[in-house]
């Protein structure tokens, strides 16, 4: 059952930048930890030296979502010494459109109406454009699909945070059967606390399979040299995807991947298909693959969860890359005997 709205919203805060150029927390309700305050000051763009104003940013830190709307103050007699302010929300759910609308109302002097039911989670999941992703990466989109299916760690770089947010929020839709946006960390700085929190998302007990992957967005190009953070590196600015040597074997592409890639491209290039129809096409192919995998499992040793029968997989005589993919997919879906 969905949680009541009041329980999804965790806290509201206000950060102001004064005429001296200092950005300070001035108010919050009910409370925000010192650690989170420092993080949100970093995210709100008022402490940036580059003076770029980001009207709305969002991200996730330690299982809490944050949404920040920043406004320049125009000749307000009530805010004489304030040049900019940011409204900060922390919440339990991923819904950028909902919280952008809510913060816009909080920022404006006019009264506005806000109905939470106008913003259901599914709408938020479908708000990105798969077609845009495919038009940029074409057949290489299958690399992203494979990485997500196998729960690998994807890092995305672009100097513009807006470009990163738009792109990264769309990627979980490639594995629609999971409907899991908790893997998304769309705005990460190369800061030790943030990187530690990001690394903590992967399950150390299943390290050999990196059972819980993530999608992390960075605006700092130095992230490319941090190979400890990614299995797949996406340079969005140059439209390049790099597979780390660590996962080359698990990510070996074959006939099946070519089929999936062609299906993704054909569906996305069809002008009569909407983004949600493209997601549905990909999802049907995924269901087919998962059905094949399920047919090769068995329930044994009193385990309720079926596990992969590796002999049955070998007897199918799939092409090596397909067999390899199905084996690693079983690992990602926790269907291997440990």
* Residue 156 within a domain: yes
Query: How far is Cα 324 from Cα 260, in angstroms, rounded to an integer?
Result: 16
CA-wise closest residue to 195 among 169, 181, 214: 214
Q: Tell me, what's the pLDDT at 1?
A: 41
Instruction: Decide if 267 contacts 278 (C-beta within 8 A).
Output: yes
Strand 214-218 versus strand 82-91 pairing type: unpaired
Task: Judge if 18 and 98 occupy the same domain.
Answer: yes
Q: Tell me, what's the pLDDT at 35?
A: 93
Q: Tell me, what's the pLDDT at 207?
A: 45
SS3 of residue 240 by DSSP: strand
Query: How far is Cα 140 from Cα 144, in angstroms, rounded to an integer?
Result: 7
Number of domains in the chain: 3
Burial class (CB in 10 A: 0-12, 13-18, 19+), 182: middle
Query: Among the listed ranges 139-148, 167-176, 205-214, 259-268, which one has the minimum average pLDDT value?
Result: 205-214
Q: What residues have CB less than 8 Å from 111, skipping those under 6 apart?
A: 105
Task: Judge if 132 and 223 occupy the same domain.
Answer: yes
Question: What stretch of H or E contains 247?
Answer: none
What is the torsional sign of CA 49, 55, 61, 66? positive
Query: How far is Cα 133 from Cα 201, in angstroms, rounded to an integer?
Result: 25
Q: Tell me, what's the pLDDT at 171?
A: 98
CA-wise closest residue to 96 among 158, 174, 36, 184: 184
Instruction: Decide if 257 contacts 146 (C-beta within 8 A).
Output: yes
Residue 297 bridge partners (DSSP): 308
Tens-digit pLDDT profile for residues 300-327: 766 678 899 999 999 999 999 999 999 9
Instruction: Decide if 215 contacts 229 (C-beta within 8 A).
Output: no
Copy the structure tokens of residue 165.
Answer: 């947010």
- The residue segments making up the domain with residue 237 are 126-251
Query: How far is Cα 280 from Cα 177, in angstroms, rounded to an integer?
Result: 10
pLDDT band with cut points at 50, 70 and 90 for residue 72: confident
Please tell me what DSSP assigns to residue 3.
P
* Residue 256 within a domain: no
Which of 95, 123, 151 finishes a domain? 123
Dihedrals φ, ψ of 212, to 5°?
-120, 100
* Residue 42 within a domain: yes
Question: What stretch of H or E contains 307?
Answer: strand 307-308
Q: What is the CA radius of gyration of the chain?
A: 22
Residue 91 bridge partners (DSSP): 9, 65
Task: Judge if 226 and 185 occupy the same domain.
Answer: yes
Tens-digit pLDDT profile for residues 163-221: 999 999 999 999 999 999 999 999 999 999 999 999 987 654 444 444 579 999 999 99
Q: Tell me, what's the pLDDT at 81?
A: 85
* Residue 267 within a domain: no
Task: Judge if 86 and 153 occupy the same domain.
Answer: no
The 10 Å Cβ neighbour count of residue 200 is: 12
Query: Among the listed ranges 16-20, 33-37, 56-60, 247-251, which one has the minimum average pLDDT value?
Result: 16-20
Average pLDDT of the chain is: 90
Query: How far is Cα 147 from Cα 293, in angstroms, rounded to an integer?
Result: 17
Which of 251, 285, 304 finishes a domain? 251
Task: Judge if 140 and 96 occupy the same domain.
Answer: no
Given a cut of 80, is residue 75 above it in pLDDT?
no
Task: Judge if 115 and 137 occupy the same domain.
Answer: no
Q: Tell me, what's the pLDDT at 50?
A: 58
SS3 of residue 250 by DSSP: coil
Angle CA(34)–CA(51)–CA(89) in degrees, nearest 5? Answer: 35
Q: What is the pTM of this model?
A: 0.92
Task: Judge if 283 and 317 occupy the same domain.
Answer: yes
Q: Tell me, what's the pLDDT at 120?
A: 87
Copy the structure tokens of residue 338.
Answer: 């440990």
């Amino acid at each position: 059952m969905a949680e009541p709205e009041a329980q999804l919203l965790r806290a509201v805060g206000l950060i102001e930048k004064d005429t001296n150029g200092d950005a300070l927390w001035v108010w919050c309700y009910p409370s925000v930890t010192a650690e989170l305050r420092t993080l949100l000051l970093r995210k709100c763009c008022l402490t940036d030296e580059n003076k770029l104003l980001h009207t709305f940013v969002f991200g996730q830190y330690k299982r809490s979502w944050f949404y920040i709307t920043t406004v320049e103050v125009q000749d307000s007699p009530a805010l004489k010494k304030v040049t900019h302010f940011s409204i900060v929300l922390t919440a339990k759910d991923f819904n950028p459109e909902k919280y952008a609308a809510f913060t816009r109302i909080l920022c404006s002097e006019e009264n506005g109406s806000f109905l939470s039911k106008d913003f259901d989670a599914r709408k938020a999941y479908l708000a990105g454009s798969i077609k845009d992703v495919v038009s940029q990466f074409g057949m290489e989109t299958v690399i992203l699909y494979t990485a997500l299916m196998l729960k690998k760690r994807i890092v995305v770089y672009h100097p513009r945070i807006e470009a990163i947010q738009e792109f990264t929020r769309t990627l979980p839709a490639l594995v629609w059967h999971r409907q899991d946006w908790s893997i998304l960390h769309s705005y990460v700085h190369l800061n030790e606390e943030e990187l530690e929190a990001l690394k903590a998302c992967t399950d150390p007990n299943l390290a050999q399979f990196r059972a819980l992957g993530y999608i992390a967005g960075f605006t700092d190009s130095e992230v490319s040299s941090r190979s400890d953070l990614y299995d797949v590196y996406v340079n969005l600015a140059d439209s390049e995807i790099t597979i780390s040597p660590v996962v080359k074997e698990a990510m070996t592409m074959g006939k099946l991947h070519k089929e999936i890639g062609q299906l993704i491209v054909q569906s996305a290039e069809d002008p009569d298909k909407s983004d949600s129809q493209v997601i549905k096409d990909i999802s049907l192919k995924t269901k087919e693959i998962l059905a094949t995998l399920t047919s090769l499992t068995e329930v044994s040793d009193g385990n309720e969860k079926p596990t992969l029968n590796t002999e049955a997989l070998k007897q199918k005589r799939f092409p090596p890359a397909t067999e390899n993919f199905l084996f690693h997919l079983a690992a990602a879906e926790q269907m291997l005997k440990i």
